[in-house]
Amino acid sequence: MRNNDFLSELGLNALVTRLKRASDAMLHDGKRMYKELGMNIEPNWFAIFKLVGKYGPISVTEIADRIGMSHPSIISITNKMMKAGYLSESKSDDDSRKRILSLTPKAEAMMPEFEKVWNAGMVAYKKMLHDTDIMHMLDVLEDRIAEKGFRERALEQLEKFKSVEIVDYDQKYDKDFADLNYEWIAHFFTIEDHDREQLDHPYQHIIEPGGHIFFARIGDEMVGTVALIRMNDDEFELAKMVVSPKFRGYKVGDKLLEASIEYSKLLGLKRVILETNTKQFQAIKMYQKWGFYDIPLDPNSHFTRANVRMQIDLNIGAAASI
């Protein structure tokens, strides 16, 4: 399923939708199960049954607070439960507007049968998730939402997106260039001799022969970099492109690539080529989005890890493919 699943392909961007999909699938299965067992009950009644059974009589407001759901949602569920004959309603002695709910004799009589089904469901969940501590993950997610919600976090990141600045090479950034790349290469591959030449001496091996290096900066931190290595009068090689893992998803790679293509056009070059590896499938997708296409491998490549070679032609308005 994962291979053809678009939501899986979207990653964290589809987190809420995937949680909803999983919830809907389990609720649908629960409804089918109750129907097959001849029980007039719905899966999302479970928590209210347990809460009212343990703490009732209890107000609708308190149910909403204890479960952490909205007041209208609780009203909708409890109204259905009352219609099915499982809840009874009375008025509060202190406030006639407050609805107090209790389990009915019918609910009390049915509880032993319900408990059997719920216990079976608990065992089923444990077997399904035996190698995953999903309850801990939910605790972490809910704690962090309570600490700072999605809206606030997303707006903070949006401000950072806007603050990504592309800056030109300066020798004072040599250490950033080396550190970012060494960390990335060591994580995925083996550092090769040609890596060390370029990373330890970028001015001599990249800038002086007619190339260029761009950096992406957020505040005072360098978060990404890319090199353009002069191959001949018509061609740059795009190399040493890396984004700090802390800043993946900020479109830093796109900004670096855009700067590289525009700079190459400004100099009147005809093409930009690059070498990469199939492990870097996300990067390859980004290159393809910008107009790069596959070309034959270079048998004289400096890097043993290079198993993909791509090119973009700069005289065909490639940037318009964004």
Q: What pLDDT sits at residue 230? A: 97
Q: What pLDDT sits at residue 161? A: 66
Q: What pLDDT sits at residue 98? A: 81
Sorted by where each begins, the domain ranges of the chain are 39-147, 160-321
Closest by CA position to 202, among listed 183, 181, 174, 224: 174
CA distances from 137 to 133, 158, 200, 268 (A): 7, 25, 42, 53
CA distances from 191 to 199, 219, 240, 241 (A): 11, 29, 12, 15
pLDDT tens, per residue, the chain with 322 residues = 466 888 887 888 788 999 999 999 999 999 999 999 999 999 999 999 999 999 989 999 999 999 999 999 999 999 999 999 999 999 877 776 788 999 999 999 999 999 999 999 999 999 999 898 988 999 999 899 999 988 888 888 777 766 889 999 999 999 999 999 999 999 899 999 999 999 999 999 999 999 999 999 988 899 999 999 999 999 999 999 999 988 887 789 999 999 999 999 999 999 999 999 999 999 999 999 999 999 999 999 989 999 999 999 997 444 433 3
Closest by CA position to 261, among listed 271, 274, 250: 271
Q: Evaluate the CA torsion angle 172, 176, 181, 186 in order and state its sign.
A: positive
Q: Is the distance from CB of 47 to CB of 67 less than 8 angstroms?
A: yes
Q: Is the distance from CB of 213 to CB of 166 less than 8 angstroms?
A: no
Q: Is the domain covering 39-147 a CATH 1.10.3720.10 domain?
A: no
Closest by CA position to 263, among listed 170, 168, 137, 175: 168
Closest by CA position to 200, among listed 214, 228, 181, 184: 181
Query: Amino acid identity, residue 135?
Result: M
CA dist., res. 237 & res. 215, Å (int) = 16
Q: What pLDDT sits at residue 2? A: 61
CA dist., res. 109 & res. 53, Å (int) = 12
Indicate the pTM of the whole model. Answer: 0.56
Task: Centre a 10 Å sphere on the Cβ of residue 192 and count the other Cβ atoms it contains.
Answer: 13
* Two tokens, residue 44: 């999302």
Q: What pLDDT sits at residue 233? A: 94
Domain 160-321: which CATH number of 3.40.630.30, 3.40.720.10, 3.40.50.10420, 1.10.357.10? 3.40.630.30
Beta bridge partners of 228: 212, 238
Closest by CA position to 314, among listed 251, 245, 200, 228: 228
Q: What pLDDT sits at residue 319? A: 41
